[in-house]
Amino acid sequence: MVMPIIDRYLIFYIRTADKLQRTARWIENLPGGIKYLKEVIVDDKLGICADMEKQMNELVDSYFCEWTETVKDPKRRKVFQQFANTDETVDTVEVVQERSQQRPTYWPKDSAGREDFKGHKWSSVSWQPVVRADHFSDEPPQVSSANVKRGDTQLAVFKIKGKFYATQQMCPHKRAFVLSDGLVGDDDAGKYWVSCPYHKRNFELNGEQAGRCSNDESMNIATFPVEERDDGWVYIKLPPIEELDSVLGTEKWKVRKGEAEDPFHKVDKKFKGMKGKKVTDGFLTRVPAVQPAKSIDW
Ligand code: FES
């Protein structure tokens, strides 16, 4: 008897809750709260229990694991390769061991914001084929951006409304190699922007100010001319590899252990020596109130 009630509960939640609404808030907002919920899913006050169970059965029957499907399909798997132009993989952040597990090291204290990537003057540039144009696709699995490797440098290539744009892959804010995964949008002036998926620095992709950051003037990124040619390749106008790597190489900007302060250090220090006690002992009321942060340094 328990399973059908859980099924009804879940379907009633799916059908009536707001998007992303917590179940506790949802129940509080029901007219009559948990009492009403019981009347609906146990006593069948609305006469919909059979229907809700049917809906749950349909849901269970149509379920499939997207990840299993992806792992089985080489075409879909390719979308998750680090680079669109090579099977190589490169670490962009050092890994630390903690409690017998691995985790990436903390965010670096310093950004690469002081570097003027946008204004960098390359000694010479020439067109280089970097990725096949058919890597990008409007058909599922849709692909509108790519991370490509040249030398030790990572470049983000975007295809927007049939045209290509290229930038460095590293977001200067925390030296994260993620820009090809950013959300792309446009503005009223017809400019395209990529928003870093981590903390939403927005970088302009086209126009005279390409490379500038709209919400953090302390940083900018390098952009490069791109074109698709009849030979089926996307070409980017780039400097020689050594010069490119000396400015944007992964080894140069990789986030290393020990660069960042442990963000939990201050908290640990504050509560050092305190022992946990049962809530009934009034422990929670004796813990000094933590002041809300005035700003969060991401
Ligand atoms: S790493 Fe890109 S905005 Fe923070």
CATH number for the domain spanning 195: value is: 2.102.10.10
Nearest to 226, CA basis, from 215, 214, 236, 212: 236
Q: Is residue 242 situated within a structural domain? A: yes
Binding site membership of 181 for ligand 1 (Cβ less than 6 Å): no
Give the bridge partners for 237, in sequence order: 127
**Residue at a domain's end among 44, 62, 80:** 62
Q: Does residue 71 sit within a domain?
A: no
Same domain, 109 and 248: yes
Closest residue by CA, ligand 1 atom 1: 174
**Cis amide linkage into residue 141, ω under 30° from 0:** yes
Q: Residue range 180-203: average pLDDT?
A: 96
201 lines ligand 1 (CB under 6 A): yes
Of the two residues 262 and 239, the one the predictor is more confident about is: 239
Which residues constitute the domain of residue 151?
A: 95-252
Is residue 122 in contact with ligand 1, taking CB distance under 6 Å?
no
Atom 3 of ligand 1, nearest CA residue: 199
Q: What's the confidence (pLDDT) of residue 41?
A: 97
pLDDT at 278: 57
33 and 111 both lie in a single domain: no
The arithmetic mean of pLDDT across residues 6-16, rounded, is: 97
> What confidence tens digit (pLDDT) does each residue in 192-204 have?
999 999 999 999 9
Is 243 in the same domain as 100? yes
The predicted structure's pLDDT at residue 279: 54
Per residue in 143-166, pLDDT (tens digit) is: 999 999 999 999 999 999 999 999
Ligand 1 close to Cβ of residue 196 (< 6 A): yes
Sign of the four-CA dihedral 250, 253, 256, 260: negative
Number of separate domains in the chain: 2
Q: For residues 286 and 93, which has the higher predicted lDDT (pLDDT)?
A: 93
Q: Which atom of ligand 1 is nearest to the CA of 179?
A: 2
Q: Residue 260 C-alpha to ligand 1 middle, in angstroms?
A: 15
Residue 35 lies in a domain: yes
Same domain membership, residue 122 and residue 13: no
| Position 30 pLDDT exceeds 50 | yes
Residue 179 CB less than 6 A away from ligand 1: no
